Every structure is written in structure tokens, then in C-alpha cells.
Amino acid sequence: MKLYPKALLIAILLNATPGQLAAQGLMQFMHHPLTARGWAIGGATTAWIEDGAGLLANPAILPRLESSWQVNYSSFMLDIYSTSIYSNFQLGNKGDLAAAVQYLDYGSFTERDADGKAFGNFSVHDLQGHLVYAYPLTPKTSLGASLSFFQSELQAYGAEGLFMSFGALYYHPGSTLAVGISAQNLGLYFDSYASADEMPPTTLRIGIAKHLEYLPLTISLDTYQAYHRKYVVRLGGEFHIGDHLFLRFGSSSKRFHIRGQRTFRNFLAGSSTGIGFTVRRFQADLALIGLGDAGTISSFSLSQHF
């Protein structure tokens, strides 16, 4: 295990001041896509209705999805990984319901005293549970809401919170234009890492998506306000190669904030690519996301419609 870079990361977290902790937005991973398909299109999922990648970004997309289940595994740098599972189904004329669980594991660490003597190990992880409900108001519009429980543990430290997200979606079948807006992660912490009140990762998201008329391409565009009041723009697309093969790409304005020493890696920083294919009612998706000199994120999902 690559202990020292990871230990440095945890040390920075533990030694940051409460103000720094709040300003950095500790729970920024809550903005991560739920599926590999979402990672591949750059996380532009607020109006994405092809799968459940944007369920947590905009719960109002739920009535546009087929009933399905999906499992996902994502690998980050320094042996960090995350897993998730979700399922959505229809409630007849009472709306649609979905449930999801996410787990992020930072690995295990050796605890040492001031003299460097090892006297134990500890692990670091985050756990989230989500319940999503949405209702189609008209054939073209829907409203949705989600309730999320968050728990994080870092040695003897911990944080817990309860958050809600609300969203609206407009979809015009004739033009295949979808417009989504959501307020994400409104809530509070029951317990926090810092002694001062931490700000939850609340943000307002706006997105559009459309299947082009003369190309087998669906494009999606998102914008939202991240920490430090910086706005992020995400763009993604999916090419349909026949009925069973999909090629995807994505990018983000965050790429301009990722600096690297290697020209090729720096060029690909903040960009993503992916592929997916279907066999009967099963679908497999793979995504790769460049982070410059920091490495890459890889994500794999398997789903089934029912």
C-alpha cells in the first residue's frame, strides 16, 4: 500500500482549521456520478435521462427511467475505491421510487506516536444511503425529491448528516430536449469533524440534454456552483453505434485548474471517455477519467432492466 501519500492526505485533513475545513467543502464527493456512464460523460447528469447516473443530481429524472438495478465499482488513486448499488421501480400512478447505497473506502493506516512507533491501525471510510421519489406532473414535466443519510469515519473522528435534494425536469419527446434544475444536498450535520459549524455541500444545478436530429449523438451540459463560489461547467456526449454499442466522452472546466508536468497528461486532465454495450436486458459500462499527474479514475457498472 502507498502509505505515505495517503497518510499525508489524512494529516492535512486532521490539521486543517475549522474554517479551512468548511471552505474546502469536505463532502465534495457527494457530487460524484452514481454510475460509470455518468463518469464517462463528465458528470453532466442534471438532465440526463438515459440511465440513473443523475438520480442524486436531479431526482426528477426518475420517471423517465426504465425499472432497473445497477452495481458500480470505481477505483481512485492511492488504492481508494468506491462501490454503489441502486434500484428503481414504478409505483403505478403513484410515482416512482429508487434506493441507493454508496461506500467510499480510503484504506487502512498505521497509527504512530510522536517517536514514530506503531501502535495500531485505523481505517477511513464514508457511507451514504439515499431514498428517491418522483412524480410526473404532466407528460412533459416531473418533480422529485431525495433523502440522503451520510456517515464518515476517520480514526476517532466522525461526521454524520441528513440531506435533501429537490429537482424538476422538462422533457419534450418531439425535440428530445431535456432541461433540469435541482437544489442538491440541503441539510445539516448531526456531528462534524470541525468544532465550528461546517457548511454542507449544497449547490444549485442547471442542465440540458438533447439527442441530435442528424447525428447518433446525445449531448449533455451542466453548470453548478462549487466550493469557494466557483462555477463548474461540465459537458458530455454519447454516440449510439447501432442499438447495442455506446461511445462516450466528457470534459469539465475543472481541467483548467489541474496542473501537470507532462504535456499529454495535462491535456487530458479533467476529461473522460467510456464505452458501453448491451446484451439482451443487461448493460455493461466502463469509464476512464484523467486527473493529470494525479493519475486516473476508472469506473465499471453492470445493470439490468426489468
Domain ranges of the chain: 3-305
Q: Give the pLDDT score at 69.
A: 96
Q: Give the pLDDT score at 73.
A: 96
Cα of first residue to Cα of last residue in the chain, in angstroms, is 40
DSSP β-bridge partners for residue 304: 69, 282
**Residue 195 pLDDT exceeds 70:** no
Q: Give the pLDDT score at 8.
A: 43
Going by the DSSP 8-state scheme, the letter that residue 66 receives in this structure is P
Q: Where are the alpha helices (DSSP H) in the chain?
A: 3-15, 18-24, 36-40, 263-268
- Say which residue, 225 or 66, is predicted with more confidence: 66
Q: Give the pLDDT score at 253.
A: 82
The predicted model gives 180-188 an average pLDDT of: 91
Choice among 75-84, 140-149, 165-174, 287-296 with the minimum mean pLDDT: 287-296
Q: Give the pLDDT score at 18.
A: 33
Q: Which tens digits make up the pLDDT trace of 37-93? A: 999 999 999 999 999 999 999 999 999 999 999 999 999 887 889 999 999 999 989
Integer CA distances (angstroms), 244 to 92, 150, 176, 276, 283, in order? 29, 36, 20, 8, 9
**Residue 256 pLDDT exceeds 80:** no
Beta-carbon contacts of 178 under 8 Å, excluding residues fewer than 6 positions away, are 47, 48, 49, 64, 169, 170, 171, 172, 208, 209, 210
**Residue 10 pLDDT exceeds 70:** no
Residue 288 class from Cβ within 10 Å (0-12 exposed, 13-18 middle, 19+ buried)? middle
Question: The domain 3-305: what is its CATH number?
Answer: 2.40.160.40
